[in-house]
Structure 1
Amino acid sequence: MQTRDIDYFDGAARLNGYLAMEAGAARRPGVLVFHEGLGLGDFAMQRARRLAGLGYVAFAADMFGDRRQAHDLQEAGALIGPLRGNPAALRQRARAAVSVLAALPEVDANRIAAIGFCFGGAVALELARDNADLKAVVSFHGVLTSKSPAREGEVKAAILVLTGADDPLAPPDQVLAFADEMRAAKVRDWQVETYGNALHGFTNPSADGSIMRDALHDPCADRRSWASMQRLLEEVFDDGVR
Protein backbone atom coordinates (compact mmCIF):
# COMPACT_ATOMS: atom_id res chain seq x y z
CA MET A 1 0.00 0.00 0.00
CA GLN A 2 1.18 3.49 -0.83
CA THR A 3 0.66 6.35 1.63
CA ARG A 4 1.85 9.92 1.63
CA ASP A 5 1.09 13.36 2.98
CA ILE A 6 -0.26 15.99 0.60
CA ASP A 7 -0.05 19.71 1.28
CA TYR A 8 -2.84 21.83 -0.19
CA PHE A 9 -4.46 25.19 0.46
CA ASP A 10 -7.73 26.89 1.23
CA GLY A 11 -6.84 30.49 0.53
CA ALA A 12 -3.93 31.27 2.85
CA ALA A 13 -4.61 28.28 5.09
CA ARG A 14 -2.08 25.48 4.61
CA LEU A 15 -3.67 22.05 4.96
CA ASN A 16 -1.90 18.72 5.31
CA GLY A 17 -3.91 15.70 4.17
CA TYR A 18 -3.09 12.00 4.01
CA LEU A 19 -3.42 9.78 0.93
CA ALA A 20 -3.70 5.99 0.89
CA MET A 21 -4.04 3.67 -2.11
CA GLU A 22 -2.96 0.35 -3.49
CA ALA A 23 -0.56 0.31 -6.43
CA GLY A 24 -2.12 -0.01 -9.85
CA ALA A 25 -2.47 1.76 -13.17
CA ALA A 26 -6.25 1.75 -13.45
CA ARG A 27 -8.21 4.81 -12.42
CA ARG A 28 -10.56 4.00 -9.57
CA PRO A 29 -13.15 5.64 -7.33
CA GLY A 30 -11.95 8.10 -4.71
CA VAL A 31 -13.24 8.47 -1.15
CA LEU A 32 -12.70 11.49 1.07
CA VAL A 33 -12.37 10.93 4.81
CA PHE A 34 -13.23 13.82 7.14
CA HIS A 35 -11.84 13.61 10.65
CA GLU A 36 -13.37 13.94 14.09
CA GLY A 37 -13.38 17.07 16.22
CA LEU A 38 -9.90 16.37 17.58
CA GLY A 39 -8.33 16.78 14.14
CA LEU A 40 -6.69 14.59 11.52
CA GLY A 41 -4.96 11.83 13.43
CA ASP A 42 -4.41 8.09 13.56
CA PHE A 43 -8.09 7.12 13.49
CA ALA A 44 -8.99 8.90 10.23
CA MET A 45 -5.75 7.79 8.60
CA GLN A 46 -6.41 4.18 9.60
CA ARG A 47 -9.86 4.41 8.03
CA ALA A 48 -8.28 5.80 4.87
CA ARG A 49 -6.00 2.75 4.73
CA ARG A 50 -8.99 0.44 5.20
CA LEU A 51 -10.69 2.11 2.25
CA ALA A 52 -7.53 1.73 0.18
CA GLY A 53 -7.58 -1.96 1.04
CA LEU A 54 -11.04 -2.12 -0.50
CA GLY A 55 -9.66 -0.78 -3.77
CA TYR A 56 -10.40 2.93 -3.44
CA VAL A 57 -8.09 5.93 -3.45
CA ALA A 58 -8.68 7.46 -0.02
CA PHE A 59 -7.78 10.99 0.99
CA ALA A 60 -8.07 12.03 4.64
CA ALA A 61 -8.60 15.78 4.62
CA ASP A 62 -7.23 18.30 7.10
CA MET A 63 -10.03 20.67 8.07
CA PHE A 64 -8.12 22.66 10.71
CA GLY A 65 -4.88 23.44 8.90
CA ASP A 66 -1.29 22.36 9.61
CA ARG A 67 -2.80 19.10 10.88
CA ARG A 68 -3.59 20.75 14.21
CA GLN A 69 -4.76 18.47 17.00
CA ALA A 70 -7.06 19.17 19.92
CA HIS A 71 -6.51 17.43 23.25
CA ASP A 72 -9.75 18.27 25.01
CA LEU A 73 -13.24 19.57 24.27
CA GLN A 74 -12.25 23.19 24.81
CA GLU A 75 -9.48 22.99 22.22
CA ALA A 76 -11.76 21.10 19.84
CA GLY A 77 -14.45 23.74 20.19
CA ALA A 78 -11.96 26.48 19.35
CA LEU A 79 -11.04 24.68 16.12
CA ILE A 80 -14.55 23.60 15.13
CA GLY A 81 -16.43 26.78 16.06
CA PRO A 82 -15.22 29.10 13.29
CA LEU A 83 -16.11 26.49 10.66
CA ARG A 84 -19.45 25.30 12.06
CA GLY A 85 -20.47 28.90 12.56
CA ASN A 86 -19.74 29.75 8.93
CA PRO A 87 -21.15 27.08 6.58
CA ALA A 88 -19.76 28.83 3.50
CA ALA A 89 -16.23 28.70 4.91
CA LEU A 90 -16.64 25.08 6.01
CA ARG A 91 -17.92 24.05 2.59
CA GLN A 92 -15.13 25.89 0.81
CA ARG A 93 -12.52 24.12 2.91
CA ALA A 94 -14.14 20.75 2.31
CA ARG A 95 -14.27 21.45 -1.43
CA ALA A 96 -10.53 22.11 -1.41
CA ALA A 97 -10.07 18.47 -0.39
CA VAL A 98 -12.49 17.32 -3.11
CA SER A 99 -10.37 19.16 -5.68
CA VAL A 100 -7.17 17.49 -4.48
CA LEU A 101 -8.65 14.01 -4.71
CA ALA A 102 -10.36 14.60 -8.07
CA ALA A 103 -7.11 15.85 -9.62
CA LEU A 104 -5.10 12.73 -8.82
CA PRO A 105 -4.29 10.69 -11.95
CA GLU A 106 -5.28 7.47 -10.17
CA VAL A 107 -8.80 8.73 -9.47
CA ASP A 108 -11.89 8.61 -11.65
CA ALA A 109 -13.17 12.12 -10.94
CA ASN A 110 -16.69 11.04 -11.89
CA ARG A 111 -16.77 8.54 -9.01
CA ILE A 112 -16.03 10.26 -5.73
CA ALA A 113 -17.69 9.85 -2.33
CA ALA A 114 -17.15 11.37 1.10
CA ILE A 115 -17.37 9.88 4.56
CA GLY A 116 -16.88 11.55 7.92
CA PHE A 117 -16.82 10.85 11.63
CA CYS A 118 -18.27 13.12 14.33
CA PHE A 119 -17.42 16.67 13.14
CA GLY A 120 -16.35 15.07 9.87
CA GLY A 121 -19.81 13.56 9.44
CA ALA A 122 -21.25 17.07 9.58
CA VAL A 123 -18.65 18.20 7.03
CA ALA A 124 -19.62 15.43 4.62
CA LEU A 125 -23.30 16.35 4.96
CA GLU A 126 -22.50 20.01 4.28
CA LEU A 127 -20.85 18.98 1.01
CA ALA A 128 -24.02 17.13 0.02
CA ARG A 129 -26.14 20.17 0.91
CA ASP A 130 -23.80 22.31 -1.18
CA ASN A 131 -24.55 20.35 -4.37
CA ALA A 132 -21.06 18.81 -4.51
CA ASP A 133 -20.61 16.36 -7.36
CA LEU A 134 -20.37 13.28 -5.16
CA LYS A 135 -21.87 9.83 -5.64
CA ALA A 136 -22.44 9.28 -1.92
CA VAL A 137 -21.97 10.88 1.47
CA VAL A 138 -21.80 8.86 4.70
CA SER A 139 -21.97 10.39 8.18
CA PHE A 140 -20.81 8.30 11.14
CA HIS A 141 -22.16 9.73 14.44
CA GLY A 142 -22.18 13.22 12.94
CA VAL A 143 -24.14 16.30 13.92
CA LEU A 144 -27.18 16.55 11.66
CA THR A 145 -28.21 20.19 12.02
CA SER A 146 -27.10 22.94 9.65
CA LYS A 147 -27.41 26.71 9.40
CA SER A 148 -27.85 26.21 5.63
CA PRO A 149 -30.28 23.30 5.13
CA ALA A 150 -30.55 21.41 1.87
CA ARG A 151 -32.58 23.05 -0.88
CA GLU A 152 -34.70 21.32 -3.46
CA GLY A 153 -32.74 20.08 -6.45
CA GLU A 154 -29.34 20.80 -4.90
CA VAL A 155 -28.33 17.43 -3.47
CA LYS A 156 -26.66 15.05 -5.92
CA ALA A 157 -25.22 12.51 -3.50
CA ALA A 158 -26.89 9.48 -2.00
CA ILE A 159 -26.89 10.16 1.75
CA LEU A 160 -26.40 7.61 4.51
CA VAL A 161 -26.56 8.70 8.15
CA LEU A 162 -25.28 6.22 10.73
CA THR A 163 -26.16 7.34 14.24
CA GLY A 164 -26.35 6.08 17.80
CA ALA A 165 -29.74 6.01 19.46
CA ASP A 166 -28.22 7.52 22.62
CA ASP A 167 -25.89 10.05 20.97
CA PRO A 168 -26.49 13.40 22.72
CA LEU A 169 -25.13 15.27 19.70
CA ALA A 170 -27.82 13.78 17.45
CA PRO A 171 -30.87 13.35 19.70
CA PRO A 172 -34.11 11.88 18.32
CA ASP A 173 -35.69 15.27 17.60
CA GLN A 174 -32.73 16.23 15.43
CA VAL A 175 -32.84 12.91 13.60
CA LEU A 176 -36.52 13.59 12.83
CA ALA A 177 -35.71 17.15 11.79
CA PHE A 178 -33.02 15.81 9.43
CA ALA A 179 -35.57 13.48 7.83
CA ASP A 180 -37.93 16.43 7.39
CA GLU A 181 -35.10 18.41 5.79
CA MET A 182 -34.45 15.60 3.30
CA ARG A 183 -38.14 15.37 2.42
CA ALA A 184 -38.53 19.13 2.02
CA ALA A 185 -35.52 19.21 -0.31
CA LYS A 186 -36.86 16.20 -2.23
CA VAL A 187 -33.55 14.40 -1.87
CA ARG A 188 -33.83 11.36 -4.10
CA ASP A 189 -31.74 8.91 -2.03
CA TRP A 190 -31.30 9.19 1.72
CA GLN A 191 -31.41 6.81 4.64
CA VAL A 192 -30.78 6.79 8.38
CA GLU A 193 -29.59 3.80 10.39
CA THR A 194 -29.87 4.03 14.17
CA TYR A 195 -27.96 1.70 16.48
CA GLY A 196 -29.63 0.91 19.78
CA ASN A 197 -27.70 1.78 22.97
CA ALA A 198 -24.87 3.35 20.93
CA LEU A 199 -23.42 6.67 22.10
CA HIS A 200 -21.34 9.25 20.27
CA GLY A 201 -18.05 8.13 18.73
CA PHE A 202 -19.10 4.49 18.44
CA THR A 203 -16.66 3.74 15.60
CA ASN A 204 -13.49 4.78 17.42
CA PRO A 205 -11.81 2.14 19.61
CA SER A 206 -10.09 4.90 21.58
CA ALA A 207 -13.41 6.49 22.58
CA ASP A 208 -13.54 5.54 26.26
CA GLY A 209 -15.40 8.48 27.78
CA SER A 210 -12.22 10.19 28.99
CA ILE A 211 -12.52 13.22 26.71
CA MET A 212 -16.28 13.22 26.28
CA ARG A 213 -18.36 11.24 28.77
CA ASP A 214 -20.95 10.23 26.18
CA ALA A 215 -18.40 9.12 23.55
CA LEU A 216 -17.86 5.38 23.73
CA HIS A 217 -16.78 2.75 21.26
CA ASP A 218 -19.41 0.16 20.37
CA PRO A 219 -17.89 -2.78 18.45
CA CYS A 220 -21.23 -3.97 17.10
CA ALA A 221 -22.33 -0.54 15.82
CA ASP A 222 -18.82 0.02 14.47
CA ARG A 223 -18.88 -3.21 12.48
CA ARG A 224 -22.41 -2.81 11.19
CA SER A 225 -21.98 0.82 10.18
CA TRP A 226 -18.81 0.08 8.21
CA ALA A 227 -20.59 -2.75 6.40
CA SER A 228 -23.46 -0.41 5.53
CA MET A 229 -21.00 2.11 4.12
CA GLN A 230 -19.34 -0.57 2.02
CA ARG A 231 -22.66 -1.66 0.54
CA LEU A 232 -23.58 1.87 -0.43
CA LEU A 233 -20.20 2.61 -2.02
CA GLU A 234 -20.35 -0.59 -4.05
CA GLU A 235 -23.84 0.31 -5.20
CA VAL A 236 -23.17 3.90 -6.22
CA PHE A 237 -19.86 3.15 -7.89
CA ASP A 238 -21.32 -0.01 -9.46
CA ASP A 239 -18.01 -1.41 -10.51
CA GLY A 240 -17.41 -4.45 -8.36
CA VAL A 241 -14.62 -2.81 -6.33
CA ARG A 242 -13.92 -4.81 -3.18
Structure 2
Amino acid sequence: VNVFVLLATACLLGRAAASPAEASYNFTYGYNPAAITVNALNYTDEFGTALMGYLAYDNTTMVQRPAVVIIPDYDGIGPYELWRANLLAQLGYAAFVADIYGVAQVQGPALTSAQSSALDQMYLMDPELLLSRVGAGVAEAQMQAVVKTNATIVIGYCFGAAAILDLAASWPNPITNNVLGVMAFHAASPPSSEINMTVGNPIRISVQQGFDDPSIPQAEALMTQEMWESMGVKWEWTWYSQTVHAYTEPDLVGANAGSTMAYSATADQRSWQALRFYLLDLFSYVTPQNQYANTTVFDTTSSFA
Protein backbone atom coordinates (compact mmCIF):
# COMPACT_ATOMS: atom_id res chain seq x y z
CA VAL A 1 0.00 0.00 0.00
CA ASN A 2 1.39 3.39 -0.95
CA VAL A 3 1.16 5.98 1.81
CA PHE A 4 1.10 8.82 -0.69
CA VAL A 5 -1.91 7.38 -2.52
CA LEU A 6 -3.64 6.71 0.80
CA LEU A 7 -3.17 10.27 1.96
CA ALA A 8 -4.27 11.80 -1.33
CA THR A 9 -7.40 9.64 -1.23
CA ALA A 10 -8.09 10.62 2.37
CA CYS A 11 -7.93 14.29 1.50
CA LEU A 12 -10.56 13.75 -1.18
CA LEU A 13 -12.99 11.85 1.04
CA GLY A 14 -15.65 13.98 2.70
CA ARG A 15 -14.72 17.25 1.00
CA ALA A 16 -16.82 17.60 -2.09
CA ALA A 17 -16.37 21.34 -2.42
CA ALA A 18 -13.96 24.11 -1.55
CA SER A 19 -13.40 25.06 2.07
CA PRO A 20 -14.56 28.70 2.25
CA ALA A 21 -15.65 28.04 5.84
CA GLU A 22 -12.01 28.34 6.88
CA ALA A 23 -12.00 31.98 5.87
CA SER A 24 -15.07 32.74 8.02
CA TYR A 25 -13.74 31.42 11.34
CA ASN A 26 -12.42 33.77 13.99
CA PHE A 27 -8.68 33.17 13.93
CA THR A 28 -7.90 36.11 16.24
CA TYR A 29 -8.61 34.50 19.61
CA GLY A 30 -6.16 32.68 21.86
CA TYR A 31 -3.32 35.17 21.50
CA ASN A 32 -2.60 38.86 21.90
CA PRO A 33 -2.17 40.38 18.41
CA ALA A 34 -0.32 43.39 19.82
CA ALA A 35 2.38 41.15 21.27
CA ILE A 36 2.87 38.98 18.19
CA THR A 37 4.91 39.99 15.14
CA VAL A 38 4.32 38.12 11.90
CA ASN A 39 6.86 38.58 9.11
CA ALA A 40 6.52 37.30 5.56
CA LEU A 41 9.90 35.86 4.54
CA ASN A 42 11.02 35.30 0.97
CA TYR A 43 13.36 32.36 0.45
CA THR A 44 14.12 29.64 -2.11
CA ASP A 45 14.60 25.89 -2.19
CA GLU A 46 17.73 24.19 -3.54
CA PHE A 47 16.36 24.51 -7.09
CA GLY A 48 15.81 28.25 -6.82
CA THR A 49 12.01 28.08 -6.53
CA ALA A 50 10.59 31.25 -4.96
CA LEU A 51 8.87 30.53 -1.65
CA MET A 52 7.24 32.70 1.02
CA GLY A 53 6.85 31.58 4.62
CA TYR A 54 5.58 33.34 7.71
CA LEU A 55 7.46 33.80 10.99
CA ALA A 56 5.48 34.58 14.16
CA TYR A 57 7.08 35.45 17.48
CA ASP A 58 6.43 37.32 20.73
CA ASN A 59 7.80 40.82 20.17
CA THR A 60 8.08 41.70 23.86
CA THR A 61 11.54 40.13 23.83
CA MET A 62 14.19 39.47 21.21
CA VAL A 63 15.77 36.58 23.09
CA GLN A 64 16.46 33.53 20.95
CA ARG A 65 13.86 30.81 21.39
CA PRO A 66 13.12 27.32 20.03
CA ALA A 67 11.47 27.07 16.62
CA VAL A 68 8.34 25.20 15.61
CA VAL A 69 8.07 24.75 11.84
CA ILE A 70 4.54 24.14 10.54
CA ILE A 71 3.98 22.19 7.31
CA PRO A 72 0.48 23.03 5.99
CA ASP A 73 -2.28 20.69 4.95
CA TYR A 74 -3.27 20.02 1.35
CA ASP A 75 -4.47 23.52 0.47
CA GLY A 76 -1.18 25.13 1.49
CA ILE A 77 -0.80 28.23 3.64
CA GLY A 78 -4.07 29.70 4.87
CA PRO A 79 -5.62 31.41 7.91
CA TYR A 80 -5.62 28.13 9.83
CA GLU A 81 -1.85 27.60 9.67
CA LEU A 82 -1.16 31.24 10.49
CA TRP A 83 -3.46 31.00 13.51
CA ARG A 84 -1.60 27.96 14.81
CA ALA A 85 1.65 29.89 14.39
CA ASN A 86 0.27 32.79 16.41
CA LEU A 87 -0.81 30.45 19.21
CA LEU A 88 2.68 28.94 19.34
CA ALA A 89 4.25 32.40 19.31
CA GLN A 90 2.07 33.36 22.26
CA LEU A 91 3.43 30.34 24.14
CA GLY A 92 6.97 31.64 23.71
CA TYR A 93 8.20 29.87 20.58
CA ALA A 94 9.20 31.15 17.15
CA ALA A 95 6.70 29.59 14.75
CA PHE A 96 7.42 29.39 11.03
CA VAL A 97 4.80 28.37 8.46
CA ALA A 98 6.75 26.82 5.60
CA ASP A 99 5.75 27.25 1.97
CA ILE A 100 5.57 23.96 0.09
CA TYR A 101 3.75 25.03 -3.08
CA GLY A 102 5.64 28.25 -3.91
CA VAL A 103 4.66 31.88 -4.39
CA ALA A 104 3.41 31.26 -7.93
CA GLN A 105 0.66 28.97 -6.62
CA VAL A 106 -2.60 30.26 -5.15
CA GLN A 107 -3.01 28.71 -1.69
CA GLY A 108 -5.52 28.49 1.14
CA PRO A 109 -9.34 28.58 1.12
CA ALA A 110 -9.39 30.01 -2.42
CA LEU A 111 -8.51 26.55 -3.74
CA THR A 112 -11.20 24.00 -4.45
CA SER A 113 -10.85 20.49 -3.06
CA ALA A 114 -10.04 19.21 -6.54
CA GLN A 115 -7.25 21.76 -6.95
CA SER A 116 -5.84 21.03 -3.49
CA SER A 117 -5.94 17.29 -4.09
CA ALA A 118 -4.17 17.66 -7.43
CA LEU A 119 -1.43 19.66 -5.75
CA ASP A 120 -0.89 17.29 -2.86
CA GLN A 121 -0.83 14.28 -5.18
CA MET A 122 1.77 15.97 -7.37
CA TYR A 123 4.07 16.57 -4.40
CA LEU A 124 3.42 13.29 -2.61
CA MET A 125 4.30 11.43 -5.79
CA ASP A 126 7.59 13.34 -5.90
CA PRO A 127 8.96 12.80 -2.38
CA GLU A 128 12.38 14.23 -3.24
CA LEU A 129 10.82 17.55 -4.24
CA LEU A 130 8.56 17.54 -1.19
CA LEU A 131 11.47 16.81 1.12
CA SER A 132 13.45 19.62 -0.51
CA ARG A 133 10.65 22.10 0.21
CA VAL A 134 10.31 20.93 3.81
CA GLY A 135 14.07 21.17 4.28
CA ALA A 136 14.12 24.68 2.83
CA GLY A 137 11.49 25.75 5.34
CA VAL A 138 13.40 24.26 8.26
CA ALA A 139 16.62 25.95 7.13
CA GLU A 140 14.91 29.33 6.72
CA ALA A 141 13.39 29.13 10.19
CA GLN A 142 16.74 28.27 11.74
CA MET A 143 18.40 31.33 10.18
CA GLN A 144 16.17 33.84 11.95
CA ALA A 145 17.67 36.08 14.64
CA VAL A 146 15.01 35.15 17.22
CA VAL A 147 15.55 31.40 16.76
CA LYS A 148 17.80 29.08 18.75
CA THR A 149 19.38 27.20 15.87
CA ASN A 150 19.89 24.00 17.84
CA ALA A 151 16.26 23.52 18.86
CA THR A 152 13.66 22.85 16.16
CA ILE A 153 10.47 20.79 16.11
CA VAL A 154 8.50 20.26 12.89
CA ILE A 155 4.74 19.64 12.92
CA GLY A 156 2.34 18.92 10.09
CA TYR A 157 -1.32 18.44 9.30
CA CYS A 158 -2.67 15.84 6.83
CA PHE A 159 -0.48 16.35 3.74
CA GLY A 160 2.06 18.11 5.93
CA ALA A 161 2.02 15.24 8.41
CA ALA A 162 3.11 12.77 5.74
CA ALA A 163 5.87 15.18 4.75
CA ILE A 164 7.30 15.45 8.25
CA LEU A 165 7.35 11.68 8.76
CA ASP A 166 9.39 11.54 5.56
CA LEU A 167 11.64 14.27 6.98
CA ALA A 168 12.26 12.24 10.13
CA ALA A 169 13.06 9.16 8.08
CA SER A 170 15.59 11.09 5.99
CA TRP A 171 18.04 11.35 8.92
CA PRO A 172 21.05 11.73 8.74
CA ASN A 173 20.32 13.98 5.77
CA PRO A 174 21.74 17.43 6.69
CA ILE A 175 18.26 18.95 6.39
CA THR A 176 17.46 17.24 9.70
CA ASN A 177 20.27 19.01 11.56
CA ASN A 178 18.99 20.31 14.90
CA VAL A 179 15.52 18.83 14.33
CA LEU A 180 14.73 17.27 17.70
CA GLY A 181 11.34 15.83 16.84
CA VAL A 182 8.26 15.81 14.62
CA MET A 183 4.56 15.65 15.47
CA ALA A 184 2.03 14.49 12.87
CA PHE A 185 -1.67 15.36 13.13
CA HIS A 186 -4.15 13.11 11.28
CA ALA A 187 -1.56 11.70 8.88
CA ALA A 188 -1.59 8.58 6.78
CA SER A 189 0.67 5.97 8.35
CA PRO A 190 3.74 5.27 6.22
CA PRO A 191 4.34 1.56 5.59
CA SER A 192 7.73 0.26 6.67
CA SER A 193 8.62 -0.50 3.05
CA GLU A 194 8.50 3.23 2.32
CA ILE A 195 10.00 4.68 5.50
CA ASN A 196 13.26 2.92 6.32
CA MET A 197 14.45 4.43 9.56
CA THR A 198 18.17 4.30 10.26
CA VAL A 199 19.35 2.71 13.49
CA GLY A 200 20.38 5.47 15.85
CA ASN A 201 17.94 8.02 14.43
CA PRO A 202 17.61 10.54 17.28
CA ILE A 203 14.50 12.33 16.00
CA ARG A 204 11.53 11.84 18.32
CA ILE A 205 8.29 10.98 16.51
CA SER A 206 4.78 11.68 17.77
CA VAL A 207 1.63 10.75 15.85
CA GLN A 208 -1.78 12.08 16.89
CA GLN A 209 -4.39 10.04 15.07
CA GLY A 210 -8.11 9.34 14.91
CA PHE A 211 -8.85 5.67 15.53
CA ASP A 212 -11.55 5.68 12.85
CA ASP A 213 -9.43 7.49 10.26
CA PRO A 214 -10.05 5.40 7.11
CA SER A 215 -6.70 6.37 5.62
CA ILE A 216 -4.82 4.23 8.14
CA PRO A 217 -5.41 0.46 8.21
CA GLN A 218 -4.77 -0.79 11.74
CA ALA A 219 -2.46 -3.54 10.54
CA GLU A 220 -0.35 -1.01 8.67
CA ALA A 221 -0.13 1.26 11.69
CA LEU A 222 1.05 -1.65 13.82
CA MET A 223 3.60 -2.64 11.19
CA THR A 224 5.00 0.88 11.21
CA GLN A 225 5.15 1.00 14.99
CA GLU A 226 6.92 -2.36 15.15
CA MET A 227 9.44 -1.20 12.56
CA TRP A 228 10.15 1.99 14.50
CA GLU A 229 10.53 -0.02 17.70
CA SER A 230 12.93 -2.48 16.06
CA MET A 231 15.10 0.39 14.84
CA GLY A 232 15.34 1.96 18.28
CA VAL A 233 13.34 5.03 17.30
CA LYS A 234 11.81 7.03 20.14
CA TRP A 235 8.16 7.26 19.18
CA GLU A 236 4.69 7.73 20.59
CA TRP A 237 1.33 7.17 18.94
CA THR A 238 -1.93 8.49 20.37
CA TRP A 239 -5.28 7.22 19.14
CA TYR A 240 -8.48 9.25 19.64
CA SER A 241 -11.67 7.20 19.79
CA GLN A 242 -14.67 7.96 17.55
CA THR A 243 -12.40 10.27 15.58
CA VAL A 244 -11.92 10.29 11.81
CA HIS A 245 -9.56 12.14 9.49
CA ALA A 246 -8.83 15.90 9.67
CA TYR A 247 -10.13 16.25 13.23
CA THR A 248 -8.45 19.65 13.79
CA GLU A 249 -9.86 21.31 10.67
CA PRO A 250 -12.39 24.14 11.25
CA ASP A 251 -14.19 23.74 7.93
CA LEU A 252 -15.30 20.29 9.08
CA VAL A 253 -17.23 21.44 12.15
CA GLY A 254 -20.70 19.92 11.90
CA ALA A 255 -19.76 17.34 9.26
CA ASN A 256 -22.48 14.84 8.42
CA ALA A 257 -22.71 11.73 10.57
CA GLY A 258 -20.70 8.93 9.04
CA SER A 259 -18.34 11.30 7.24
CA THR A 260 -14.78 10.08 6.80
CA MET A 261 -13.57 13.57 7.73
CA ALA A 262 -14.92 15.57 10.67
CA TYR A 263 -13.84 18.00 13.35
CA SER A 264 -13.48 16.63 16.90
CA ALA A 265 -13.23 19.14 19.74
CA THR A 266 -11.90 16.50 22.12
CA ALA A 267 -9.17 15.29 19.78
CA ASP A 268 -8.28 18.84 18.75
CA GLN A 269 -7.92 20.06 22.32
CA ARG A 270 -6.07 17.01 23.62
CA SER A 271 -3.69 16.79 20.69
CA TRP A 272 -2.90 20.48 21.17
CA GLN A 273 -2.07 19.85 24.81
CA ALA A 274 0.03 16.86 23.73
CA LEU A 275 1.98 19.19 21.45
CA ARG A 276 2.59 21.67 24.25
CA PHE A 277 3.94 19.02 26.60
CA TYR A 278 6.00 17.51 23.78
CA LEU A 279 7.62 20.88 23.09
CA LEU A 280 8.37 21.45 26.75
CA ASP A 281 9.86 17.98 27.03
CA LEU A 282 12.11 18.20 23.98
CA PHE A 283 13.11 21.83 24.37
CA SER A 284 13.42 21.81 28.18
CA TYR A 285 12.28 25.38 27.77
CA VAL A 286 9.94 27.15 30.19
CA THR A 287 8.79 30.76 30.07
CA PRO A 288 5.97 32.49 31.97
CA GLN A 289 3.86 31.90 28.88
CA ASN A 290 4.23 28.13 28.68
CA GLN A 291 4.58 26.81 32.22
CA TYR A 292 2.54 23.71 32.99
CA ALA A 293 0.77 25.57 35.79
CA ASN A 294 -0.46 28.33 33.49
CA THR A 295 -4.23 27.98 33.03
CA THR A 296 -4.92 30.99 30.83
CA VAL A 297 -6.94 30.77 27.64
CA PHE A 298 -3.69 30.50 25.70
CA ASP A 299 -3.05 27.11 27.29
CA THR A 300 -6.52 25.65 27.06
CA THR A 301 -8.15 26.97 23.91
CA SER A 302 -7.77 25.16 20.62
CA SER A 303 -11.33 24.39 19.67
CA PHE A 304 -13.82 25.65 17.13
CA ALA A 305 -16.80 23.79 18.62
The two structures have a TM-score, normalised by structure 2, of 0.74
Between 152-161 and 218-227, the greater mean CA deviation after superposition? 152-161
Q: Shift of the alpha carbon at 1:234?
A: 0.1
Pick closer, same or farther for the CA change 1:68–1:171 going to 2, 3 Å. farther
* Equivalent residue for 1:17, pick from 35, 53, 64: 53
1:150-189 correspondence runs (5 A) = 150-153=196-199, 155-187=201-233, 189=234
Contact 1:90–1:123 under 8 Å retained in 2: yes
Q: Shift of the alpha carbon at 1:51?
A: 0.5
Contact 1:117–1:140 under 8 Å retained in 2: yes
CA distance in 2, matches of 1:88, 1:78: 17
Large movers: runs of 4+ above 4 Å: none
Contact 1:141–1:170 under 8 Å retained in 2: no
* Equivalent residue for 1:61, pick from 93, 98, 116: 98
Q: Shift of the alpha carbon at 1:154?
A: 5.8
Which amino acid is the alignment partner of residue 228 of structure 1? A
Q: Shift of the alpha carbon at 1:4?
A: 1.6
Pick closer, same or farther for the CA change 1:154–1:9 going to 2, 3 Å. farther
Q: Shift of the alpha carbon at 1:121?
A: 0.9
Between 142-151 and 30-39, the greater mean CA deviation after superposition? 142-151
Q: Shift of the alpha carbon at 1:153?
A: 2.6
Residue deviations 1:92-151 (CA, integer Å, cap 9, x gap): 110000110010111001000011111111111111111113111000001221674132
* Equivalent residue for 2:284, pick from 214, 238, 242: 238
Pick closer, same or farther for the CA change 1:154–1:126 going to 2, 3 Å. farther
* Equivalent residue for 1:27, pick from 46, 64, 76: 64
* Equivalent residue for 2:181, pick from 126, 136, 148: 136
Pick closer, same or farther for the CA change 1:202–1:107 going to 2, 3 Å. same
Between 167-176 and 51-60, the greater mean CA deviation after superposition? 167-176
**Percentage identity across paired residues of the two chains:** 28
Q: Which runs of 5+ in 1 are unaligned?
A: none
Which amino acid is the alignment partner of residue 141 of structure 1? H
CA distance in 2, matches of 1:68, 1:106: 29
CA distance in 1, matches of 2:114, 2:231: 34
From the CA coordinates, give the structure whose radius of gyration is larger: 2
CA distance in 2, matches of 1:166, 1:222: 15
Aligned residue pairs total 240
Q: CA RMSD in A?
A: 1.9
Match of 2:38 in 1: 3
Residue deviations 1:39-78 (CA, integer Å, cap 9, x gap): 1101111101110011000000111112532633321222
Pick closer, same or farther for the CA change 1:68–1:143 going to 2, 3 Å. farther
Match of 2:26 in 1: none
Contact 1:136–1:158 under 8 Å retained in 2: yes
CA distance in 2, matches of 1:166, 1:239: 34
CA distance in 1, matches of 2:214, 2:222: 14
* Equivalent residue for 1:197, pick from 225, 235, 242: 242
Contact 2:181–2:203 under 8 Å retained in 1: yes
Between 82-91 and 148-157, the greater mean CA deviation after superposition? 148-157
Match of 1:102 in 2: 142
Contact 2:169–2:198 under 8 Å retained in 1: no
**Higher RCO (C-alpha under 8 Å, 6+ residues apart):** 2
What's the secondary structure of 1:135's corresponding residue?
strand
Match of 2:265 in 1: 219
* Equivalent residue for 2:120, pick from 58, 66, 80: 80
Q: Shift of the alpha carbon at 1:25?
A: 2.1
